[in-house]
Amino acid sequence: MIYLNGRFMPLEEAAIPVLDRGFIFGDGVYEVIPAYSRLPFRLAEHLRRLQHSLDAIGLKNPHTDAEWGALIEALIGHNAGADQYLYLHITRGVAKRDHAFPKGVTPTVFMMSNPLLPPAPELKTSGVSAITVIDNRWLRCDIKSISLLPNVLLRQQAVEAGATEAVLLRDGFLTEGSASNIFVVRDGIVLAPPKNNLMLPGITYDLVLELAAADGIPTQIGPVPEAIVKRADELWLTSSTREVLPITVLDGQAVGNGRPGPLFTRMDALYQQYKATVMRQPS
Ligand code: PDD
């Protein structure tokens, strides 16, 4: 079952008017929230980022956090499976095509759930491959915008090169992946680009830095030059659906010794432990 504008319904029954500004302009924002054991993971953080995205595009939040919480609980309840990934999508609504914001229009609110499968074990034992690509997106990558054409094209470039992810470089510095954040390990230190307008502030990114700090893993947040990315001991990608994964091949070359590194193994253990602890807590 999906949720559309106040009602739960089967996916097949859901329909959106063609003049929806999400369809016409990509005028909307979204969130992807994992749920483990039927409990949303880091919900407060996801709702805070949603608010940031809505504020950035001048769209009033159609719901309070408590309302979102209830809707999300109901969505999980309407769908099978212990682990689900929840997709929330809000557009500026339906209006005659005109770029400027329409007045008095109700936003479109859509939510769906899909089964959330943990990354296949071989992805963690062998790692994934990536290519570096010039980040040619706009300058508001902090907004989780539904206008994903640039990300789609960058990811497709990776797929056509036989790789899993595109590692994006802007003006000689690392920004993020086409649908993930990227960490670099160099000389035992975890390097991360700063959260700014050039990347999406990942919920997993924050969690990885939190877990590293709690476990005494040295981290350094700051611009990461392309040369360091290309000479990394380890590279990781992170996202809500893919957790933390090692990138072991970059542009056809081995990253470090070509195997997932020791800090990845440590971080993955911390991540799995954290997930298990959160799931045991009553909500
Ligand atoms: N994407 N950067 C980009 C461009 C992303 O699209 C994503 C996630 C991330 C990681 O953010 P988080 O850790 O909060 O998932 C970073 C989601 C999963 C998607 O579009 O499906």
Q: What percent of the chain has pLDDT over 70?
A: 99
pLDDT at 85: 97
Query: What does pTM read for this prediction?
Result: 0.97
Digit-coded pLDDT (tens) for 258-267: 999 999 999 9
How many CB atoms within 10 Å of residue 19?
12
How many CB atoms within 10 Å of residue 192?
25
179 lines ligand 1 (CB under 6 A): yes
pLDDT at 278: 83
How many CB atoms within 10 Å of residue 35?
23
200 lines ligand 1 (CB under 6 A): yes
pLDDT at 63: 98
Confidence class for position 72, pLDDT limits 50, 70, 90: very high
For 41, counting Cβ atoms within 10 Å of its Cβ (0-12 exposed, 13-18 middle, 19+ buried), the class is buried
User: Which residues are bridge partners to 36 per DSSP?
Assistant: 39
Digit-coded pLDDT (tens) for 96-151: 999 999 999 999 999 999 999 999 999 999 999 999 999 999 999 999 999 999 99
Pocket test of ligand 1: the residue of 211, 240, 242, 274 to mutate, having most ligand atoms within 8 Å of its CB, is 240
168 lines ligand 1 (CB under 6 A): no
pLDDT at 66: 98
Structure tokens given for 274: 């954290």
- Return the DSSP state at 107: P
- Measured in angstroms, how far is the CA atom of residue 163 from the centroid of ligand 1? 18
- The catalytic position among 144, 195, 230, 275 is 144
Atom of ligand 1 nearest to the CA of 240: 15
Atom of ligand 1 nearest to the CA of 207: 13
Digit-coded pLDDT (tens) for 1-34: 999 999 999 999 999 999 999 999 999 999 999 9
